A and B are shown apart, each in its own frame.
Chain A
């Protein structure tokens, strides 16, 4: 069998139903094989979008996302998406064509050392040197991408090798990887010590991150929280891992988190970190982060434990396996729940004093926060929401109260503008029966607006709700607050006529610039078949609050 056909067979054996990509010279043999393949190829308009679509596919479904690109510029266009998947631990496999083996190292046409370039941003990579390796490498790539701490794996295939004949035999079972054996169980002695620490804590907080989503452990997190009245906060990546409409929910923590969550972290005596990595957007000034707390840190990646914040009780394991054991051990202690009364009184005080708030307008001006609240109502809080990066992303995190996991797809670690639209395309391909809405920023959307064509061509029923404030809003906010209002390069105008632009691509375009029309236009957009862009003109100079200024401590929140 031709090696390229064996590649497709190997992908089929891994259960691949969809891939995203763009063909090119070095991947011609691969695309010739895709012609006969059993999976669907979604042709995007820029390779970066192929990568983000694969991420959206993976984040919405939990399955491995796959993206194809050709050598050289095709592969380098994938870089942002690979880095994004690496930072947010997204299970993805990237397959790139490479120039012929006799051209490698000669600066051949469309040659780039993509395995070299991507080394710092992949979980692992394979450069095929013998076509017979392809089935084995694909099997290993999928295994590495989805097990342990998930992440991107790259397979680079030289053009001449993919045309050669090989004997294909499907590979199943655990691949032979002596240097890769993730520890998933969690040390039971450590878990017992953690349970005892929790039983002795008077001001505990459960701090959950994206690991809870990746591990499909939101049920297990809820069980642990319910074993006592433990207050719960989630990171941006963990939203939906614990239901937001819940009495033990403190809201998101971190730079634009709630005061309840950040003050609770600041005063806690025990913080149980669950699949979270103490990112600088969470800790603020590290030396003043949670100064009174001891830390239990549960993570599948041992290198995350004590990387930024030294752990007192480290537990390496899959949170889906560790949390039930911890819950069991904790329940067995039958701790006195009344010890938390005082802590809850303190938290209730913050909740009453510092709810999320914004100033409503009395005229027809639309506040961006209102737009998110209206979007929450219009979708019954149950859509898959993708977002770009910036103010709108933070407002979505604050005001769209995610109740379920895998509903909130955004770029957290890398903070990639332009993530939202291609991620929505990927999510819709993975979950065709779900409502998929991209909350876009106008600064972000224009970076990927060529992907309107992809959605139209594949007749994908996605909705883009554009929060149009005419600015790179978050940068404008920082220039206002920290750079003496010296506004440089943050105004988007003259912006395109978004309605016409959408229509030019075959979408339905709707404009909304009056508060009274907001609910109605959202309803119309959601009820209209096919892709729809809703251009919502919001307040231009609104700032996103509350906020921990960069390098400040949680208790110094402003706004």
Chain B
């Protein structure tokens, strides 16, 4: 198929259309110019095209002129191809990476303020140890815990403590970075 002018057959019935839904959650890592209005352009693009952002995290990178935007989008609802192509049209977006879960390290941080009366305080402390989380604030009625890890880990911590009375929760949304290749 690579040479020009060759007569090999191409049957139209064999052609397959590109794109479509992937059915999984995608973690997009964007390098963007660090200037006013860039986040508004990204958010505006999502809302006007009817795309939904599940999580969003923005922060500086090693280069002060460049920021990193990490966002997660549901590929079962939105064609990721179309999302990334539309993002690429924004002049301030320099690079987009659809992070492969196998080759990326992704982490999220969350703060939980949990009802902690005398009768369940010990159990919450135990969960905190099991999840390698930290207690960052304590009062007579509540404990505040900081959890770091994968989204799944934070989800399961939430499931464990919710029955005790979750007063407040704040999650950062995932940030991610590509794993270094193993030295050969």
Interchain CB contact under 8 A, B20 and A301: no
Contact B5 A310 (CB under 8 A): no
Which chain A residues lie closer than 8 Å to B95 at the CB level? Answer: 179
Bound Cα distance A189, B89 (Å): 24
CB atoms of B82 and A307 under 8 A apart: yes
B91 and A177 within 8 A (CB): yes
B137 CB to closest chain A CB, in angstroms? Answer: 36
Query: B15–A179 contact, CB under 8 A?
Result: no
A314 & B18 in contact (Cβ 8 Å cutoff):
yes
User: What per-residue 1/0 map shows which CB atoms of A480-492 lie under 8 Å from chain B?
Assistant: 0000000000000
Given contacts A189-B2, A192-B4, A294-B12, contact A306 B19 (CB under 8 A): yes
**A200 & B91 in contact (Cβ 8 Å cutoff):** no
Chain B: interface residue total (CB-CB under 8 A): 39
A178 — which chain B residues lie within 8 A by C-beta? 33, 94
Rounded to whole Å, the gap between the CB of B11 and the closest CB of chain A is 7
8 Å CB contact of B19 from A200, A269, A310: A310
Question: Within 8 Å of chain A (Cβ to Cβ): is B93?
Answer: yes
A144 part of interface (Cβ distance < 8 Å): yes
Does A63 touch B at the CB level, under 8 Å? no
Cα of A296 to Cα of B17 in the assembled complex, Å: 10
Report B40-52 CB contacts with A as 1/0, cut-off 8 Å: 1100110010000
Contact check, B86 vs A303: say whether CB atoms are below 8 A apart: yes
Cβ of A373 under 8 Å from chain B:
no
Q: Is the CB of B82 within 8 A of A303?
A: yes
Does A201 lie at the interface of the complex (its beta carbon under 8 Å from any beta carbon of B)? yes
Measured between beta carbons, the chain A residues less than 8 angstroms from B17 are 295, 306, 310-312
Contact partner of A196 among B10, B20, B92, B94, CB < 8 A?
B10
Residue numbers in B under 8 Å from A305 (CB-CB): 85
**A151–B88 CA distance with the chains assembled, in angstroms:** 15
What chain B residues lie within 8 Å of A195 (beta carbons)? 4
In the assembled complex, how far is the CB of residue A179 from the closest CB belonging to chain B, in whole angstroms? 4
The reply to whether B93 and A179 form a contact with Cβ atoms under 8 Å apart is: yes
Q: How far is the CA of A329 from the CA of B4 in the complex (A)?
A: 6
Residues of A contacting B37 in the complex (Cβ-Cβ under 8 angstroms): 115, 119, 127
Residues of chain A at interface, number, CB under 8 A: 41
| Chain A min CB distance to B129 (Å) | 46
Nearest-neighbor residue (CB-CB) of A204 within chain B: B12
Say yes or no for A174: interface residue by CB 8 A criterion: no
Q: Which residue of B lies closest to A195 (CB)?
A: B4
Indicate if B102 sits at the interface (CB-CB under 8 A): no
The reply to whether B40 and A116 contact each other, CB–CB distance below 8 Å, is: yes
- Across the interface, which residues of B come within 8 angstroms of A329, CB to CB? 4-5
Residue from A177, A189, A303, A306 in contact with B88 in the complex, judged by beta carbons closer than 8 Å: A303
A124 to B92, CA, bound (A): 9
The verdict on A11 contacting chain B, using a C-beta distance below 8 Å, is no
What's the Cα separation between A139 and B109 when bound, in Å?
Answer: 43
Does the CB pair B90–A179 fall under 8 Å? yes
Smallest CB separation, B176 vs chain A (Å):
20
What CA separation (Å) do A313 and B18 show in the bound complex? 8
CB atoms of B5 and A197 under 8 A apart: no
Q: Mark B1-41, 1 if CB is under 8 A from A, else 0.
A: 11111011111100111111000000000001100110011
CA distance A81 to B32 in the complex (A): 29
Contact A306 B81 (CB under 8 A): yes
Q: What are the residues of chain B within 8 A of A501 when measuring CB–CB?
A: none
Q: Which of B2, B3, B10, B18 has the most CB of A within 10 A?
A: B10
User: Smallest Cβ distance from B30 to chain A, in angstroms?
Assistant: 10
Closest A residue, CB atoms, query B92: A179
Q: Give B152 Cβ to nearest chain A Cβ, in Å.
A: 32
Contact of B12 among A127, A189, A270 (CB under 8 A): A270
A-B CB proximity, top 7 nearest: A310-B17, A332-B5, A303-B85, A312-B15, A196-B10, A306-B19, A179-B94
Known: A120-B45, A196-B10, A197-B10. 7 other contacts (CB 8 A): A120-B48, A124-B91, A144-B91, A189-B2, A195-B4, A294-B12, A303-B86
A-contacting residues of B (Cβ < 8 Å)?
A: 1-5, 7-12, 15-20, 32-33, 36-37, 40-41, 44-45, 48, 79, 81-82, 85-86, 88-95
Contact sample, A vs B, 19 pairs, CB 8 Å cutoff: A115-B37, A116-B40, A123-B91, A179-B32, A189-B2, A197-B15, A200-B10, A201-B12, A301-B89, A303-B85, A303-B86, A303-B88, A303-B89, A306-B18, A310-B17, A310-B18, A312-B15, A332-B5, A333-B5
Query: Which residues of A are in contact with B by a Cβ distance under 8 Å?
Result: 115-116, 119-120, 123-124, 127, 129, 144, 177-180, 189, 192-193, 195-197, 199-201, 269-270, 294-295, 301-303, 305-307, 310-314, 328-329, 332-333
